[in-house]
């Protein structure tokens, strides 16, 4: 038996001196590092027990480190899927400053329902939750009312991850109770009275000599704070953080049994591993009196488990829970409850730490029947088109769940918004930080429509830089489940670093009030900017109504094979056996422009060519022997094939699976003849500008293009008026680049030509010709004066006033 035991060398824990270890077997390459034991490493740090407050402390390791551990565990590379678990699950740890702001705002908004929402009360509530103010700003009657509200509050994080938001809630409420009830007389009395009578003496005795914060935390964890996550490891780390938070509040007394350390509560029914997006369904109509009695007994046993100090009693109570679930199964069958749902309820075991429920129901799992007061968190960001498992995409999993916001091309966080609001009681508040793409993306239209049915209160567009390991642009939205009052306070934060930002002050000083939001893209701008946007849309006609066709550039599937330089082109042509083959081959090798070659107004060709074997041309490779020889001499045919097969042992994969032949480009390109025409080209991701490209050039798939625009329309697109308008529709990526969408381009309003505006149109065309002529001669030519003339003509076309022109010039300068 001893031979099979894991043997751990003492050096792993106790080695004081650095020694060289060869880690090549684990990390690859010739990887040798200086290492020492775990305990000496830990001794070199200063540990603290405070976490999830934005107040700066001495540099130390605190329980928040568990959040970092969780994220880095998810970052572990999976060589089979070639993605990290973090990326696959869309999980990112939220910085504490943002947690603090969202927690404070949501608690303040909730408590104004009790105290009133006048400015003086709101200011006092913010003082109550401030770490820099140690006083209670409320009178005795108000204090009693707030303590009562805190006791009754129910708060859920439906994707709790490592527990950052639940822990932030715990600390804020403990802070408030410290000020409201310094001696804990009110809170301790309420805590004891809240448990069943048969437990009250035992609980009261267990709380003797316990610290004030221990008692505060115990009551809040028992009654107020709940978490759900589909990942079992997340739930375990959340529980561990709460265990540590309680453990540090216990004082050691060596003279007493177990050093006077009380056993930690059981949190299995406070943090559960489940899929929060899949509901159990309506169950009230199937409840007989016996079912109701069994349900009440179930929750009494769970409460007993929460408080029990005995491991043996806990196991006995778990067996009792199992018996109750079996009885429930029988009774539910008697009243006609669907078998599959009854099985889910009765087989769900919150004490099984190695699995998660594929459903979520707040009543059966938490005993919360009327909804939550606050739903808060940072739900995952996962495109619904991605694979959930080997057989299904996320979209397949959720398409039948009756989500109003469901869109197959959308993101899972949209469903969390809807689910979160549905989990609230009427008047409750939701506070989420998510990707901000829903504000402008087409898939966000259903979500914007959904939000307009409720009461959005605060919107902070954070842009990039919030999450350490994610490039996603984010926003904070706080919305109330009530009638829309059309008073959304919004602000855009342009600072790159988001730490140490006073979000409340920034919102107060720089925020705008949005009152006329629709299902269209949400734009954060002043009243004057909003009116200007509406004027542009009123005067212009959307490009989609101009019969404008928009095309993607080509996708080869293997650029290193199909994009060649001058030397390679010459080699292929020189290998042609006769002039006829040479002419055929030359005709399908076209000059190509990449995204980086596209500039404002004009382009800079890099001397690259594309082998244009478009499937739509239906070419026979035997008619192009020199081209065939080039492809097969330089590339394995398995790499060229469009089979979707993977060859890790060969160091390459085949191209995406299609019905095309091995020598053809990946996409059909049925519109190949459009490349022969003059065209307007713009990048799919990049700064906002438009380029006029001569006929015969092919453009790569990093670009869009259209052959439907006139030169005067092209001039309008590059104007100071329209570029900021387009940016308000598209999604900012980084600091200056945008992700441009085809459907947003179609929304650009361009005025129709009238007799009064025809001379202006001709002037714009003339100016565009001058710019293109100068750029053709010298791509670096300074055409700024000509561009300013176009701007002035465009202002006339849209009938802008002097004040509106000043707004445009200011917006453009900021851009």
pLDDT of amino acid 45: 61
Indicate the range of 143-152, 169-178, 340-349, 552-561 predicted with least confidence: 340-349
Asked if residue 58 and residue 136 are part of one domain, the reply reads yes
Mean pLDDT of 331-335: 81
Nearest CA among 66, 48, 64 for reference residue 248: 48
Most confident of 208-212, 328-332, 358-362: 358-362
Q: Is the pLDDT of residue 255 over 80?
A: no
Q: Residue 738 domain-assigned?
A: yes
Q: Are 248 and 49 in contact (CB under 8 A)?
A: yes
What are the tens digits of pLDDT across the range 665-719? 998 899 999 999 999 999 999 999 999 998 889 999 999 999 999 999 999 999 9
Sheet containing strand 563-564, strands side by side: 563-564, 609-611, 589-593, 698-699
119 and 267 in a common domain: yes
Whether 442 and 537 share a structural domain: no
**Residues 586, 454 share a domain:** no
User: Which of 44, 63, 78 is a domain's end point?
Assistant: 44
Q: What is the pLDDT of residues 543-600, one digit of tens each?
A: 999 989 999 999 999 999 999 999 999 999 999 999 999 999 999 999 999 999 999 9
| Arithmetic mean of pLDDT, 636-651 | 94
Q: Are residues 348 and 441 in the same domain?
A: no
Burial annotation 138-153 (CB, 10 A radius, 16+ → b, else e): beeebbeebbebbbeb
For the cut 80, the answer to whether the pLDDT of residue 131 exceeds it is yes
Residue 678 is predicted with a pLDDT of 94
- Structural domain includes residue 614: yes
Residue range 391-409, pLDDT digits in tens: 899 999 999 999 999 999 9
> Domain range for residue 24?
1-44
Are 566 and 619 found together in one domain?
yes
For the residues 308-323, what does the mean pLDDT come to? 82
Of 244, 275, 306, the residue that ends a domain is: 275
11 — pLDDT class (breaks 50, 70, 90): confident
Is residue 452, in this structure, part of any structural domain at all? yes
Residues 63, 147: one domain? yes
Does residue 131 sit in the same domain as residue 16?
no
Q: Which of 690, 809, 790 is nearest to 740 (CA)?
A: 690
Alpha-carbon distance of 51 to 239, in angstroms, equals 15
Query: Which band of pLDDT confidence, cut at 50, 70 and 90, is reported for residue 814?
Result: very low
- 366 belongs to a structural domain: no
C-alpha to C-alpha distances, 34 to 17, 37, 39, 599, nearest whole angstrom: 9, 11, 16, 50
| 244 and 285 housed in the same domain | no
Residues 176 and 314 in one domain: no
What's the total number of domains in the chain?
6
Question: Which residues, at least 6 apart from 111, have a Cβ–Cβ distance to it below 8 Å?
Answer: 125, 146, 149
Closest CA to 700 of 566, 537, 554: 554
- Residue by residue, DSSP assigns 488-537 as EEEEE---S--TT--HHHHHHHH-EEE----SS------HHHHHHHHHHH
Q: Give the chain's length.
A: 815
Q: Is residue 646 part of a domain?
A: yes
Residue 371 lies in a domain: no
597 and 474 within one domain: no
What does the pLDDT average to over 651-658?
A: 94
End of a domain among 275, 307, 331?
A: 275
Q: Are residues 326 and 396 in the same domain?
A: no
CA dist., res. 549 & res. 355, Å (int): 51
* Cα–Cα distance for residue pair 301/418, rounded to 1 Å: 33
Q: What is the pLDDT of residue 79?
A: 39
Query: Cα separation of 356 and 544, whole Å?
Result: 47
- The average pLDDT across 148-177 equals 94
Q: Look at residue 400 and tell me if it is in a domain.
A: yes
Band (pLDDT 50/70/90 cuts) for residue 20 is confident
Residue where the block lists tokens 């849209």: 798
Minimum mean pLDDT range among 401-415, 492-506, 535-549, 740-754: 492-506
- Does residue 86 register a pLDDT over 90? no
Instruction: Tell me whether residue 700 is in a domain.
Output: no
- Crossing angle between the packed helical segments 197-206 and 185-194, to the nearest 10 degrees: 140
Query: Any idea which of 354-358, 558-562, 638-642 has the lowest mean pLDDT?
Result: 354-358
């Amino acid at each position: 038996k001893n031979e099979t035991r894991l043997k751990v060398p003492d050096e792993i824990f106790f080695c004081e001196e650095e020694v060289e270890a060869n880690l090549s077997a684990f990390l690859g390459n010739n990887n040798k590092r200086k290492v020492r034991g775990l305990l000496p490493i830990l001794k070199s740090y200063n540990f603290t027990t405070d976490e999830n407050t934005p107040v700066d402390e001495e540099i130390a390791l605190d329980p928040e480190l568990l959040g970092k551990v969780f994220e880095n565990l998810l970052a572990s590379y999976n060589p089979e899927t070639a993605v990290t678990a973090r990326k696959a699950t869309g999980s990112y740890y939220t910085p504490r400053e943002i947690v603090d702001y969202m927690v404070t705002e949501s608690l303040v908004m909730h408590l104004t329902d009790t105290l009133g929402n006048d400015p003086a009360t709101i200011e006092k509530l913010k003082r109550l939750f401030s770490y820099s103010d140690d006083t209670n700003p409320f009178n005795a009657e108000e204090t009693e009312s707030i303590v009562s509200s805190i006791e009754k509050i129910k708060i859920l994080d439906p994707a709790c991850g490592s527990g950052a938001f639940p822990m932030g809630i715990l600390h804020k409420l403990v802070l408030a109770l410290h000020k409201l009830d310094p001696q804990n007389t009110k809170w301790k009395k309420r805590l004891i009275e809240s448990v069943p009578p048969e437990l009250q003496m035992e609980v009261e005795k267990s709380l003797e000599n316990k610290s004030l914060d221990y008692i505060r935390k115990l009551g809040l964890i028992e009654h107020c704070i709940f978490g759900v996550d589909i990942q079992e490891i997340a739930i375990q780390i959340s529980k561990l953080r709460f265990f540590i938070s309680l453990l540090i509040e216990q004082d050691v007394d060596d003279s007493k049994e177990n050093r006077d350390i009380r056993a930690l509560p059981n949190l299995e029914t406070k943090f559960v591993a489940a899929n929060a997006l899949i509901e159990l369904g309506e169950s009230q109509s199937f409840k007989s009196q016996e079912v109701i009695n069994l349900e009440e007994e179930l929750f009494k046993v769970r409460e007993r488990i929460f408080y029990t100090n005995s491991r043996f009693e806990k196991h006995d109570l778990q067996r009792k829970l199992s018996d109750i679930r079996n009885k429930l199964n029988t009774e539910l069958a008697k009243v006609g409850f669907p078998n599959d749902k009854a099985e889910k309820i009765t087989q769900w075991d919150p004490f099984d730490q190695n699995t998660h429920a594929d459903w979520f129901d707040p009543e059966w799992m938490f005993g919360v029947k009327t909804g939550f007061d606050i739903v808060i968190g940072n739900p995952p960001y996962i495109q619904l088109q991605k694979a959930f498992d080997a057989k299904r995409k996320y979209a397949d999993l959720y398409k039948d769940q009756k989500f109003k916001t469901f869109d197959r091309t959308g993101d899972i966080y949209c469903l969390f918004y809807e689910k979160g609001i549905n989990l609230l009681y009427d008047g409750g508040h939701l506070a989420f930080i998510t990707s901000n793409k829903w504000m402008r993306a087409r898939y966000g239209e259903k979500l914007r429509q959904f939000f307009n049915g409720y009461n959005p209160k605060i919107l902070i567009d954070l842009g990039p830089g919030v999450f350490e390991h994610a490039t996603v642009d984010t926003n904070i939205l706080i919305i109330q489940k009530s009638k829309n009052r059309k008073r959304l306070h919004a602000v855009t934060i342009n600072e790159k670093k988001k730490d140490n930002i006073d979000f409340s002050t920034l919102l107060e000083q720089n925020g705008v009030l949005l009152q006329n939001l629709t299902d269209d893209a949400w734009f954060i701008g002043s009243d004057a900017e909003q009116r200007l946007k509406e004027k542009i849309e009123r005067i212009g006609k959307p490009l989609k109504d101009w019969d404008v066709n928009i095309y993607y550039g080509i996708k080869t599937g293997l650029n290193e094979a199909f994009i060649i330089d001058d030397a390679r082109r010459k080699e292929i042509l020189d290998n042609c056996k006769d002039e006829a083959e040479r002419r055929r081959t030359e005709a399908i090798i076209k000059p190509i422009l990449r995204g980086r070659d596209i500039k404002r107004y004009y382009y800079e060709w890099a001397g690259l060519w594309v082998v244009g074997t478009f499937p739509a041309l239906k070419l026979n490779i035997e008619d192009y022997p020199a081209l065939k020889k080039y492809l097969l001499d330089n590339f394995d045919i398995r790499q060229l094939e469009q089979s979707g097969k993977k060859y890790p042992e060969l160091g390459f994969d085949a191209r995406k699976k299609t019905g095309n032949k091995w020598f053809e480009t990946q996409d059909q390109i049925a519109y190949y003849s459009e490349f022969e025409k003059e065209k307007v080209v713009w990048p799919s991701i990049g700064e906002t500008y438009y380029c006029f490209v001569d006929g015969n050039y092919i453009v790569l798939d990093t670009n869009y293009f259209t052959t439907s625009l006139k030169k005067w329309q092209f001039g309008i697109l590059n104007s100071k008026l329209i570029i900021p308008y387009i940016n308000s529709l598209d999604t900012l990526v980084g600091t200056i680049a945008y992700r441009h969408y085809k459907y947003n381009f179609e929304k650009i309003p361009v005025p129709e030509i009238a007799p009064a505006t025809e001379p202006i149109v001709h002037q714009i065309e003339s100016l565009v010709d001058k710019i293109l002529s100068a750029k053709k001669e010298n791509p670096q030519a300074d055409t700024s004066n000509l561009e300013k003339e176009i701007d002035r003509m465009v202002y006339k076309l849209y009938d802008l006033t002097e004040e509106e022109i000043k707004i445009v010039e200011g917006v453009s300068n900021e851009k």
